[in-house]
Structure 1
Amino acid sequence: MILILLLLIFLLCLIGSWIYLLRDSKSYNIPGPMPLPIIGNGNLFLVDSSEFLQILSNLAYKFGDAYRVHILHHRYIVLSHPKYIEEIISSTETITKGKSYYFLRPWLGDGLLTSTGQKWKTHRKFLTPAFHYNILHSFLPVFLKNEKILSEQLKRRADGSLIELFPIFALAALDNIAESIMGVSFEAQKDRESKYVKAIDDDVLFALTPYKRLQDKALAVLHNHTKDVIEMRRQQLKNTSANKLNQNSEIGMKNKHAFLDLLLLAEVEGHGLDIESIRDEVETFMFEGHDTTASGLVYGLYCIAKHPEVQRKILEEQMEILGDDLERDPTFSELQQMKYLECVIKESLRLYPSVPIIERLITRDVEMSGMRLLKNSSIVINIFHMHRNPNVFEDPLEFRPERFDVSSSFKNPFSWVAFSAGPRNCIGQKFAMLELKVTLAALVRRFKILPGKREPQPCGDLILRSQNGVQVKILPRN
C-alpha cells in the first residue's frame, strides 16, 4: 500500500512538473525543444564540456538565433545574433549576471564581475580610471619584461618539437596581471611551484568540482596573500600621510600601485572600502586578467601558426615600424601603429573568444528585441556561435584579419563582442589588447611559428580552453 502511494505521488509530481514546463514554454514567443518532466531539457546537456558549444550551435541551427531551453525548471534564452543581443547588452537595467557565475563567489566574493545594482555601478565608476588610456603607459615596462622571460622559456624549446601553450602562457599572463594590479611581482614563470601560483590553478579547477576541502585550502592561500599585499600598501600610504587620490604625486595614477591605491583611497558615501571589498576587487581582476588573456594569447599564436601569410605580414609591419633593429623594444606609440597585428588579434578573438558565453538575469517581466522575457529568466549570449554565425559573418570559419580593417564595417557593431559591450563591457580591454600586442609581436619577431598536428577542441567552460590542448612548433628566426 505504501509503495503504491509513493508511486502515485511520484507520478503526480511528474505530471505536475510536465504541465508547468509546457505552460512555461508557451508563455514565450521563442521556439525551443519540448521539455521533459522535472529535468526540462537537461538531458541534452549531459555531455563533455568539449561538446557543449556544439550542442548549443546545433540547437541554433534547428530553432534559430533565439531559442529557449529549460534546465530543470529554470528558463534559459540562448541568443546568437546581434539583432537580439543589442538591446539587452546595451541596457542599463539588465546588468545582473546569471546563476552560472555563483560558483565563483567563494573566490571572487562580491567583486566587479559578480556584483550588481548600485554597488556594481559605484565600483565600476571609481575603478575605470585605473584602466584609462593614458595609464596604459605605466603597464608597458611590465609587459616587456615578462615577454622577455617568456621568450627565454620558449627559446629553450625552439627545436621544432610540439609545445603545449596553455601552461606556459598562463604563467606569463599571471605575472603581468599581478604586477599591474597588485604592484608586486610573483615571478610565476620562474617559480611555478609557488603556493600562490598552485592555489590559483587549484581553485579554478576545484570551483568546478565537489572537492570543497581542497578548494577551501586554495582559497585560504589566495585570500591571505592578497590581504598581506593590501596591508603592506596601506601602511606605505599611511607613512606618506596620503588619504586622498590627488594629494600626493607619488600615489594614485602616477605609479605601479595605481589600481590598489584607487581601492585603498576611494570613498563611498564618505567612508573607505572595507578590507573584504578591496580583496574581492583585487582577486576579481587577478582572475579576469589572467585566464582570459592567456586564452587570447594561446589561440592568437595558434592562428598565426596556421597562416604563414598572416605571420609574414605581421613581421613586415614591424619591420616598417621598428626599422632595422628588430631586437629593440617598441614604444607605446609604435605599438599603436601595429594596425594589422590588431586586426589579427581581433580575428583570432572572433573565432576563439576568451569568454565564449556570457549570461544575464532578467529581474522583471519585460519585452526586449521583440521577445517576451519573464522575470528570473537567464539570457545566455552565445558569443562563440555568433562569431561563427553565417548570418552574421561571411565565410565565418575563414581566418581573415582584413575583416577588421578600418575600411571595413560590420552591419551591426554588436556582431563582435569578444570584450562584451554596453555598460558591463570589459573594463580592462585596452589593457588586454596592449598585453596581447606586446607578447605576440615579440614572439613573431623572434620565432618562426609553425602549426601543430591537431585542431583544438574548444571547451564551453567559463574561459575558452581546449579538450586536447593547443600546440605549435617554433624555430629561431634568423
Structure 2
Amino acid sequence: MILFVLFTLVVAYAVNFLYKKWKVYRLLLDNFKTPPRHPIFGTLTIFPKTAPEIFKTFQSLFVKYGKNVVLTRPILDALIVISDAKDVETILTNPNTKNARKGSAYQALEPWLGTGLLTAYGNKWFTRRKIITPSFHFSILDGFVDVMSKQSDILITHLKSMAAKGEVDIYPIVNAFALDVICETSMGVTVNAQADPNSEYVTSVKKMSLAFQERLHHPLGNTGLYNLTSQGQYLKTLTTLLHNFTDKVIGERRDQLLSNMKVDQGSRMNFLDILLHATAGGKPLTNADIREEVDTFMFGGHDTTTSGISFTLYLLSRHPDVQEKLYQELKNAFGSKDQMEITNKKLSGLEYFDMVVKESLRILPPVPGIGRELTEDTLIGGITVPAGVNLVLSIYRMHHDPGNYPNPERFDPERFSSQSDNKRTFTYIPFSAGGRNCIGQKFALLNLKTSVAKVIMNFKLLPGPEVILQGDIVLKASNGIRIRLEER
C-alpha cells in the first residue's frame, strides 16, 4: 500500500512537472519563430558536427527566422536566442540585477570556478561585486600597466624571433602573454608562460579551456552524467590540479599576512592581496571564497583577452591604411619604439586607437554571446515569457546586424568617431551591459591597448589566411590566427 502511494505521488509529480514544461514549450513555439524540429531531438539536428559549421549555422538562423529565434532540445526544453537590441536592453537593464542568473550552460564551469562572481547570483553576487569593484580602480590599474608593459616586451622578443619564418599563428603566443599578465596581476606569481609554455600549470590552463569547449558540444555536457564519462573524469583531474596551485598561492600569501609581513598597499597590490584584505559581514573571506574569485578572474581574463588582442592584430594586418594611421598616432604619442613609456593616461588620450579597438571588438567580439535564465516573468518581443526560461543574447549577431551597422562586415573604425551620428546603446555590448556587465573591462582594454601598441610600433603586420570562426564561450579561429611580421 505504501509503495503504491509513493508510486502514485511520483507519477503525479512527473505529470505535473511535464505539464508545466509543456505549457512553456507551447507558449514559446506559438509566439516565436523556430527552425524545423525533430520529434525527439528538437532543433539539435539542424546543427553540423564541427564547431565552425555550428557557428555558421547558428548565425544563419537570424537571417532565416528573424531577430529572436526559439531552439528546442529533448524533453520539452526550449530556449530563446535573442538579437533584438530592445529586448536585450530589457533583460540587461532589469533593476533586479541582484537576482539575475546566468544560463544553465554556465553550470559546467562551477566545478572549477565555484559560484564566484561570474556564476553567482543573489546576495552572494551583490557582496562579491562590492568587494571586487575597488580592484579595478584607476590607481590599481596604473600599477598593472607596468606588468602589462614588461610582459609585452617579452612578447615582442618572441615575435622578433619568428618574424623571418613567414606566417605566424599569433594566438598561442598571445595566449602565453595573457596568461603571464593575468597570473602576475591576479595572484602576484610569475608562471613564465612565454618562456616555459610547457610547465604543468600553463598546459593545464590551456587544456582546461579546450576541455570546456568539448563539454559544450557533448550530448551529456549539460547533465551530471557527464562526470561519469572519460572526458568528465579528465576535466575533474585538471580541476584538482588547478585548485591545488591556487590554494597553495593563497595559503602562502595568507601566511605572510598572519606573520605581519608587509603587503604593498599602493598601486602594485595584486587581486589576491585585495581579496585577502576584504571582509564580508565583518569576517574575512575564506580560502575557498578567494579561490573562486581568483579562478574566475583567471578564466574570464586570459582567453577573452587573447582573442581580443589576436583578432585586433589580425584585422590590422588586413587593413594597411588603418594600420598606418594607427602607427602614426602611436609614433606621435610615444616617439621611439625603444623608449615607449606606456601609461593609462597616455593610452586614454589616443582617439584613433580607441576607435580601432572598439571596431575590432564589434566585428570580432571575444565573447560572442551570453546566457541568462529568467528569474521573473519578462516581456520579450511583446510576449510575456515566464521565469525559468533560458536565453542566449547574441552579441555577435547584434554587432553584425545591418540594421544596426550598415555594411557590418566592413572594418571601419570611423563608425566610432566622435562625429559619427550612429547611436549605439545596446547594439554594441562586447563587455555585456547593465548591472552585470564585465567588471574587468577596463583591465582588459588596458592590456589589449598596451600589447597592441608595442606590436604596431615594432612590426608592420601583413595578412595571412582568412580566419574560420568558431563560437563557444570565447570566439576563436579553428585554423589559427596567422599573420606575417615585418620589423619596422
TM-score, normalised on structure 1? Answer: 0.90
5 Å-filtered alignment, 1:356-435, equals 356-368=368-380, 370-435=382-447
5 Å-filtered alignment, 1:181-192, equals 181-192=186-197
SS at match of 1:158: helix
SS at match of 1:91: coil
In the alignment, what sits opposite 2:153? 148
Say if 1:149 and 1:189, in contact at 8 Å, map to a contact too.
yes
In the alignment, what sits opposite 1:259? 271
4+ residue segments displaced more than 6 Å = none
1:132-184 C-alpha deviation (Å, 9 max, x unpaired): 12321000110110001000000011116010111111000000111011111
Give, in whole Å, the separation in 2 of the partners of 1:362 and 1:341.
38
Give, in whole Å, the separation in 2 of the partners of 1:23 and 1:164.
45
Give, in whole Å, the separation in 2 of the partners of 1:421 and 1:387.
14
5 Å-filtered alignment, 1:246-285, equals 250-252=263-265, 254-285=266-297
With over 3 angstroms needed to count, the CA separation of the structure-2 counterparts of 1:324 and 1:25, relative to structure 1, is same
5 Å-filtered alignment, 1:168-179, equals 168-179=173-184
Give, in whole Å, the separation in 1 of the partners of 2:244 and 2:337.
45
Say if 1:326 and 1:445, in contact at 8 Å, map to a contact too.
no
Measured after TM superposition, the shift of residue 357 of structure 1 is 0.9
Measured after TM superposition, the shift of residue 439 of structure 1 is 0.5
Which residue, 90, 96, 102 being the options, matches 1:93? 96
For structure 2, the residue ranges without an aligned partner over 5 or more in a row are 1-14, 216-228
Say if 2:329 and 2:352, in contact at 8 Å, map to a contact too.
yes
1:82-112 C-alpha deviation (Å, 9 max, x unpaired): 1221111111436200011111111111111
Say if 2:87 and 2:381, in contact at 8 Å, map to a contact too.
yes
With over 3 angstroms needed to count, the CA separation of the structure-2 counterparts of 1:75 and 1:92, relative to structure 1, is farther
SS at match of 2:375: coil
SS at match of 2:135: helix
SS at match of 1:156: helix
Paired AA for residue 70 in structure 2: R
Q: Does 1:235 align with 2:240?
A: no
Paired AA for residue 407 in structure 1: Q
Paired AA for residue 124 in structure 2: K
Measured after TM superposition, the shift of residue 66 of structure 1 is 1.3
With over 3 angstroms needed to count, the CA separation of the structure-2 counterparts of 1:96 and 1:23, relative to structure 1, is closer
Farther off after superposition, 387-396 or 203-212: 203-212
Paired AA for residue 320 in structure 2: P
Measured after TM superposition, the shift of residue 59 of structure 1 is 1.4
Paired AA for residue 119 in structure 2: T
SS at match of 1:75: strand
5 Å-filtered alignment, 1:113-132, equals 113-132=118-137
Give, in whole Å, the separation in 2 of the partners of 1:66 and 1:398.
24
Measured after TM superposition, the shift of residue 368 of structure 1 is 4.3
TM-score, normalised on structure 2? Answer: 0.88
Paired AA for residue 263 in structure 1: L
SS at match of 2:162: coil
SS at match of 1:415: coil
SS at match of 2:402: coil
In the alignment, what sits opposite 1:5? none
Say if 1:41 and 1:70, in contact at 8 Å, map to a contact too.
yes
The alignment yields a C-alpha RMSD, in angstroms, of 2.2
5 Å-filtered alignment, 1:301-316, equals 301-316=313-328
Say if 1:306 and 1:451, in contact at 8 Å, map to a contact too.
yes
Give, in whole Å, the separation in 1 of the partners of 2:242 and 2:171.
21
Give, in whole Å, the separation in 2 of the partners of 1:231 and 1:386.
44
Say if 1:35 and 1:41, in contact at 8 Å, map to a contact too.
yes
Give, in whole Å, the separation in 2 of the partners of 1:163 and 1:381.
33
Give, in whole Å, the separation in 1 of the partners of 2:127 and 2:453.
36
With over 3 angstroms needed to count, the CA separation of the structure-2 counterparts of 1:23 and 1:50, relative to structure 1, is closer
With over 3 angstroms needed to count, the CA separation of the structure-2 counterparts of 1:328 and 1:251, relative to structure 1, is closer
With over 3 angstroms needed to count, the CA separation of the structure-2 counterparts of 1:449 and 1:241, relative to structure 1, is closer
With over 3 angstroms needed to count, the CA separation of the structure-2 counterparts of 1:27 and 1:93, relative to structure 1, is farther
In the alignment, what sits opposite 1:32? 34
Say if 2:468 and 2:479, in contact at 8 Å, map to a contact too.
yes
Paired AA for residue 77 in structure 1: I
With over 3 angstroms needed to count, the CA separation of the structure-2 counterparts of 1:267 and 1:57, relative to structure 1, is same
Give, in whole Å, the separation in 2 of the partners of 1:371 and 1:49.
32
Paired AA for residue 229 in structure 1: V
Which residue, 137, 142, 162 being the options, matches 2:142? 137
